[in-house]
Amino acid sequence: MCQVNEEDDEIFQALKSTINKTPTNRKCMSCDEDACVIVRIADPMCRKCFEEFFIHKFRSTLSKSNIFGRGEHVLIAYSGGPSSTALLHLIAEGLSVNARRRLQFQAHVAFIDESSLYPDAIDIREKVIDRITNQLHYPLHIVSIDDNLDNDNTLKKLLFQQTKSLTAREELIRRRKLKLLFDIAIREKCTKLITGDNCTKLAAQILSDMAQGKGAHVALECNLTDTTNDLVTIVRPFREIMSKEIAMYNRLNSIESLQNIDISTMSGIQSSIFKLSETLVNDLQRQFPSTVSTIFRTSDKLEKNLKSERCDLCCYPLDLDEDQSLLSDQDRIKLIHQLFDTRSDSNDPVHVCYACRRLLRDVQPNLQSNQE
Amino acid sequence: MHLTLEFAGGAELLFGKQKNHSIDLPDNNSSWTIRTLLVWIRENLLRERPELFIQGDSVRPGILVLINDIDWELLDGLNYQLKSNDNILFVSTLHGG
């Protein structure tokens, strides 16, 4: 039956030897220089070859299938974190006059100021302005995460008093940020939105989404070009680059990220579904270096037949029928209109996908209902 | 033995938000390795939440360790024997530090 006799099983032995292999060969795999980093499974690379490898992966991803039109207005989503900072750096190089096969689009940068939610994030706005406007000279669009809300406390109250779990808070913030980014892109007539999502993070996101009922969308979320929104296409040039590679590249080029704080900073490793899956992915990746790429390539194939209408909360296509996706709770409808719908009439019906419906259960639409 | 430690990517939040630390390890009979350095860090530098930095006798997966800008996986990992004036960088690649 299904019994693995470890000594006899050749495949098991081969697998074990791959795991335990310590790279005794410290020379770069391409040239004969001393290696400084291990990428992919166990490939040692010297600094020069690593940088070429990194930049090549980025550029070839971007120039595949002619994603950008000449002079197209493109919005870069900048969070201040290591991935988006590396992204900016690479795009700036690609746009510079001396670049080989120079990039031909017009860059705009968007930054969503979340400092009202995290008291520790001091001066971030000034630092971003300094970097983007003064150093790089790209048009910068800063929007507060409380933008267009009644007052600065609405979102804070929603997240910290009316939302039960850290998972729900993370997910609400994620959806709100995407909505704001789309709004900026549309307003500035940018037809593309570039994000710095890297492979490792996407793998964790995929598992986390599946755990929350958002499995219908995972294939879309790991696409290079994501046409979920009719007007703005999301582009993810780092989708095949690991977080370790980005950290290494930043270090070798003294690229400093501006901030690393978000809603789950300093919270425990099991405090939210995303943190759990991120921990899982990183733990596995340490012993089995093909974990991330396997998750990724598998999800790419999990296409699902989706409706043409979009979820009003997460912007992705609905996975439920129209009558099943229609929200009937008046309070929650009002909430969605307030936070996620900047343009339509507040009497319009609201449709949500399965995952967003579950998410809303963790949110109390107004405080009065707690008194019952 | 004198070393410089650097923390980045959010890891610095666990060390009083200080990115650079210049430290002197007491000389003892057995030489220092990354493994023993981590124990020392845990006892002497780590201000709070050790589980966010250390897991078992190693760093938490997702934290990249560079010794003089070289991947520690190329240098024996935990068993690497520290030399005077080595620069050890701990970068967190995890979200929220």
Which CATH number fits the domain that encloses residue A164?
A: 3.40.50.620
> Which of A305, A322, A353 is where one domain is finished?
A305
Helix axes A243-252, A47-63, angle to 10 degrees: 120
> Which of A258, A288, A305 is where one domain is finished?
A305
Residue B59 counted as domain residue: yes
Q: Residue B82, class by beta-carbon neighbours within 10 Å (0-12 exposed, 13-18 middle, 19+ buried)?
A: middle
Q: Are residues A286 and A312 in the same domain?
A: no
- The structure's pTM equals 0.88
Which residue in chain B has the smallest CA separation from A285? B61
> Which of A305, A326, A354 is where one domain is finished?
A305
Q: Are residues A191 and A326 in the same domain?
A: no
Q: Which domain holds residue A365?
A: 306-372
Type of residue at A316: Y
* From A35, A260, A265, residue closest to B74, measured CB to CB: A35
Nearest Cα residue to A221 out of A111, A289, A292, A302: A302
Number of residues in chain A: 372
If one counts the domains in chain A, the total is: 2
pLDDT for position A142: 92
Which residue numbers of B have CB closer than 8 Å to A's CBs? Answer: 8-10, 13, 49, 51-52, 60-62, 64, 66, 69-71, 73-74, 76-77, 89, 91-97
Q: Are residues A148 and A294 in the same domain?
A: yes
Residue A29 counted as domain residue: no
How far does B15 lie from chain A, in Å, by closest CA? Answer: 12
Residue B19 counted as domain residue: yes
Residue B97 counted as domain residue: no
Which residue in chain A has the smallest CA separation from B71? A37
- For chain A, the straight-line distance linking the first and the last C-alpha, in angstroms and rounded, comes to 59
Q: Are residues A347 and A295 in the same domain?
A: no
Long-range contacts of A341-344 (CB under 8 A, 24+ apart): A341/A312, A342/A148, A342/A179, A342/A183
Which ipTM score applies to this complex? Answer: 0.93
Q: Are residues A364 and A238 in the same domain?
A: no
Residue B26 counted as domain residue: yes
Q: Are residues A201 and A344 in the same domain?
A: no
pLDDT for position A369: 41
If one counts the domains in chain B, the total is: 1
Contact residues for A186 (Cβ-Cβ < 8 A; gap 6+)? A231, A232
Phi then psi for residue B80, to 5 deg, are -60, 130
Residue B34 counted as domain residue: yes
Give, for all 372 residues of chain A, the pLDDT tens digit. Answer: 555 555 555 555 555 544 444 545 578 888 888 888 888 777 889 999 999 999 999 988 887 767 888 889 999 999 989 999 999 999 999 888 888 888 889 999 999 998 888 877 778 888 899 989 988 899 999 999 888 887 778 888 888 888 889 999 999 999 999 999 999 999 999 999 999 999 999 999 999 999 999 999 999 998 888 888 889 999 999 998 999 999 999 999 999 888 878 888 888 888 999 999 999 999 999 889 889 989 988 998 988 888 888 898 899 999 988 888 888 888 888 888 888 875 666 677 888 999 999 999 888 877 554 443
Q: Are residues A328 and A259 in the same domain?
A: no
Whose structure tokens read 């495949």?
A: A11
Q: Are residues A121 and A194 in the same domain?
A: yes
* From B10, B51, B91, residue closest to A265, measured CB to CB: B10
A278: contact with B, CB 8 A cutoff: yes
Residue B46 counted as domain residue: yes
- What is the count of residue pairs from A and B with beta carbons less than 8 Å apart? 90
Sign for the CA dihedral angle at A270, A274, A280, A282 comes to negative
Contacts of B52 in chain A (CB under 8 A): 266, 268-269
Q: Which helix (H) or strand (E) holds A292?
A: helix A291-299
Q: Which helix (H) or strand (E) holds A43?
A: strand A43-45
Q: Using pLDDT thresholds of 50, 70 and 90, give the confidence band for residue B34.
A: very high
Contacts of A38 in chain B (CB under 8 A): 71, 73-74
Residue A55 counted as domain residue: yes
Q: Residue A55, class by beta-carbon neighbours within 10 Å (0-12 exposed, 13-18 middle, 19+ buried)?
A: middle
Contacts of B64 in chain A (CB under 8 A): 244, 247-248
The CATH code of the domain that includes B42 is 3.10.20.30
A265: contact with B, CB 8 A cutoff: yes
Q: Which domain holds residue B19?
A: 2-92
Residue B63 counted as domain residue: yes
C-alpha–C-alpha distance, residues A315 and A297, integer Å: 23
